[in-house]
Chains A and B, each alone.
Chain A
């Protein structure tokens, strides 16, 4: 068995690997090595912990084998289009693990205190158990709800009931109150002590309920923010767990994840020009389905694939703007094929990716990478907007809000002020869309009625495949 000193040294090594791993993860050419370094850190931390001695290895091995097997299977079999919900699920398992550790530690101390008659708690440990259980619990249920919304098992629109905000605040107050009561230590006869287990269960229940209620009120289009935030929470839960068992590597790594997750959350919020509290509490989309903002006037001009092909064939520059619709239709491979055809035809092809397109941060990048779209062809809105007037054709594939000119022009629109890709300024804009209805967030899009916009209606994959076929015939 290793001495505690050597184990701590191993933990330091693990923490260093996590730091370098995260750093390298944020640069394209080192990202994969960074992830591998970070996993080495995890292995070192785990092995060192197993050498503590006095542990019940049957249970540990059982847990590791079962959990590891499930994780392995899920990671190997998930389709790239299912990535947002997979990430949400993994996040949830981390959260519930923190809750369970808190519970296990509390249960053990509770039984020992009851049996021996000697109070084994400290307020600090109880407070940490409270935080780990509350944050872990709400991360778990929040992630499960996010998973349900992302995988389409639950409706993506915000589900709100009257007084929901007030109820959530009340619930949070109950949780904090219960947490304070839970953390107080008196002698054994004290009512706060005899009711300790009941108070703990209240904490757990409010945490689980909070996670559900906080996320069901948030619309599908805001999911990138929610996933990034839940990711941050799972780190904080791990951090609180570290305080329960006085373990430095948990505190360090949990805090790293918590902080970096918050940065990603901020990036997502900026991309939508909204504050975090606005995303979390506004129930975006629910109140807007009636179509506030200016009435969209005029008639959308529908085009068929054949005419669209003729325009594309003559184009010398094309910008493709993918959105969630491309993911739903699984059109990324067909889109890439079309991009190749256009390039062969002497056309310059770029893919403009809005940071919040899709349902998780970087969603479109993952899909296009799966389809082998070269990295050099991916551009961000800031790169493409200044030159958009010179672009012959913008192809909007299943994106809606991120190209909605109302964000720029209509100050009554709920998305007014959000940075968008200005596809309406291109010479011609094709919008590939299932129907003429409003988008995911329920906001009408004046883009569809512009003079230079042509609607190519139908399933995105079918439409793109038809275009590809036209090119092949040619």
Chain B
């Protein structure tokens, strides 16, 4: 990778980190768990990397590692989002519920 791309990527990284810090400054403790499991689901974005590691014509071992990576990341993504949704559904119900 040439130096320019490297600098470009590091630039993106730096800005994203700052954005991440600014994004959630005051979170009510009510939302700590959903925020954690919801952001955990986002970290399943590795699934994109896992898919891209499965180019056709790769070594068998590469393919096996890549498939395992896709599967694990998919557990993270699907499980993470659904479980967060389930939790938040409970929170919402009570806002509208008997109160």
Contact = CB atoms under 8 A, between A and B. Distances in A.
A71 B77 contact: yes
A373 B94 contact: yes
B55 interface: yes
B1 A124 contact: yes
B81 A250 contact: no
Interface string B69-99: 1111111111111111111111111110111
* Tier of interface size on chain A: 35 or more
A263 B24 contact: yes
Interface stretch (A165-173, A210-218, A358-366): A358-366
Interface stretch (A56-64, A144-152, A153-161, A288-296): A56-64
A339 interface: no
Contacts of B39: 22, 25, 231, 235, 256-257, 260-261
A1 interface: no
Contact of B5 (A38, A72, A246, A376): A246
Interface in B21-39: 21, 23-39
Most chain-A Cβ atoms within 10 A of its Cβ — which of B43, B55, B78? B43
A250 B45 CA distance: 6
B84 A35 contact: yes
A108 interface: yes
A67 B70 contact: yes
B92 to A, nearest CB: 6
A28 B91 contact: yes
Given A101-B69, A375-B94, A257 B40 contact: yes
A26 B70 contact: no
Interface in B45-85: 45-59, 61-63, 65-85
A250 B46 contact: yes
Contacts of A234: 40, 43, 76
B54 to A, nearest CB: 5
A267 interface: yes
Contact of B53 (A36, A105, A376): A105
B82 A71 contact: yes
A372 interface: yes
A355 B29 CA distance: 6
Given A70-B79, A75-B79, A90 B65 contact: no
A59 B70 CA distance: 9
A55 interface: yes
Given A59-B67, A71-B82, A93-B76, A261 B49 contact: no
Contacts of B72: 67, 93-94, 96-97, 100
Contacts of B46: 94, 97-98, 101, 237-238, 241, 250, 254
Contacts of A18: 42
Contact of A253 (B34, B45, B74): B45
Interface string A203-240: 00000000000000000000000011001001101110
A259 B23 CA distance: 9
A73 to B, nearest CB: 9
Nearest to B24: A26
B83 A87 contact: yes
A86 B55 CA distance: 32
Contacts of A38: 38, 41-42, 81
A67 B78 contact: yes
A466 B67 CA distance: 53
Given A35-B84, A101-B46, A71 B78 contact: yes
Given A31-B91, A100-B72, 12 more contacts: A21-B42, A22-B35, A26-B27, A36-B85, A62-B67, A63-B67, A72-B79, A91-B76, A243-B9, A264-B24, A370-B90, A375-B94
22 contacts: A26-B24, A26-B27, A28-B30, A28-B95, A31-B88, A35-B84, A38-B41, A64-B70, A83-B33, A86-B83, A124-B6, A231-B43, A235-B43, A246-B9, A252-B12, A259-B17, A260-B24, A264-B36, A362-B29, A362-B32, A366-B90, A370-B90
Interface of A: 18-19, 21-23, 25-29, 31-32, 34-36, 38-39, 42, 45-46, 49-50, 52, 54-56, 59-60, 62-64, 66-68, 70-72, 74-76, 78, 80, 83, 86-87, 90-91, 93-94, 96-98, 100-101, 103-105, 107-108, 111, 122, 124-125, 227-228, 231, 234-235, 237-239, 241-264, 267, 353, 355, 360-363, 365-366, 369-370, 372-376, 378, 380
Closest 8 CB pairs of A and B: A259-B20, A67-B74, A63-B70, A362-B32, A71-B79, A71-B78, A361-B32, A255-B16
